[in-house]
């Protein structure tokens, strides 16, 4: 069987194994946040005064035009699930020895069923599964559901984004009881935090639980 060459998604260098996504040099140069257990890091601050999240973090900083954008673009729009698992594992390695390790379950931000049919998968769930492999924390995909297909948020400000998604989320009819649990919400990117705020609010409104947040990148 013929296999196409596998190249680093950042620099294009030929990779030694089909299981790899980035070369060692590009992985080393990734602009990781290294927020660790810092309670006052920029991601946590996004939610201050909005929703009582315990702590938030991101794997790396998202910079427009950065070659590392390719990782998220390939995952969301080119069906590259391998990139999602890879990013999830990197995220898991960053979180494994921090306060995030106390979480009982990983909850991916859900996609609306229409978008899921179009894409064939939920990129946040793929990331969560990679994180789960490293941290040994189960992924629960039947807790939250997206009840409304929202409009694109690319050109929206913070308040507009929140208005666009504030009533988008609810509990899946099959949801387990998570009373007393520590929940780690997983998403690909945090910008204004509107989506993650809405998801957190649903969980906190229905359960006596603690919510933590982790994303692959932060803008």
Q: In whole angstroms, how far apart are CA 186 and each of 24, 125, 183, 210, 215?
A: 25, 8, 10, 14, 6
pTM of the model: 0.89
Per-residue pLDDT tens, the chain, 219 aa: give them: 334 458 999 999 999 888 889 999 999 999 999 999 999 999 999 999 999 999 999 999 988 889 999 999 999 999 999 999 999 999 999 999 999 999 999 999 999 999 999 999 999 999 999 999 999 999 999 999 998 655 554 555 555 555 556 678 999 999 999 999 999 999 999 999 999 999 999 999 999 999 999 999 998
Which run of H or of E encompasses 84?
Answer: helix 81-95
Q: Evaluate whether 104 touches 137 at the Cβ level (below 8 Å).
A: yes
The answer to whether 162 and 50 have CB atoms below 8 angstroms apart is no
Q: Report the top-level CATH class of 31-152+162-218.
A: alpha beta
Give the domain ranges of the chain: 1-30, 31-152+162-218
Pairing of strands 182-190, 105-108: parallel
Give the whole-angstrom CA distance, residue 173 versus residue 70. Answer: 36
DSSP 9: T
């Amino acid at each position: 069987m013929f296999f196409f060459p596998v190249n680093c998604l950042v620099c294009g260098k030929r990779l030694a194994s089909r299981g790899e996504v980035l070369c060692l040099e590009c992985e080393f140069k990734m602009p990781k946040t290294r927020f660790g257990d810092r309670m006052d890091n920029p991601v946590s601050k996004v939610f201050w005064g909005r929703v009582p999240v315990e702590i938030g973090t991101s794997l790396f900083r998202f910079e427009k035009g950065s070659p590392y954008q390719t990782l998220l673009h390939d995952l969301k729009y080119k069906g590259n699930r391998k990139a999602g698992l890879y990013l999830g594992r990197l995220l898991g390695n960053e979180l494994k020895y921090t306060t995030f390790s106390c979480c009982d379950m990983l909850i991916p931000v859900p996609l609306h069923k229409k978008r899921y049919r179009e894409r064939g998968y939920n990129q946040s769930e793929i990331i969560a599964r990679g994180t789960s492999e490293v941290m040994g924390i189960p992924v629960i995909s039947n807790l939250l559901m997206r009840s409304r297909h929202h409009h694109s948020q690319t050109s929206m400000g913070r308040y507009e984004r929140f208005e666009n998604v504030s009533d988008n989320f609810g509990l899946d009819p099959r949801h387990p009881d998570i009373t007393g649990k520590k929940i780690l919400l997983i998403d690909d990117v945090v910008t204004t935090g509107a989506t993650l705020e809405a998801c957190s609010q649903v969980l906190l409104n229905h359960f006596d639980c603690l919510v933590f947040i982790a994303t692959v990148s932060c803008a």
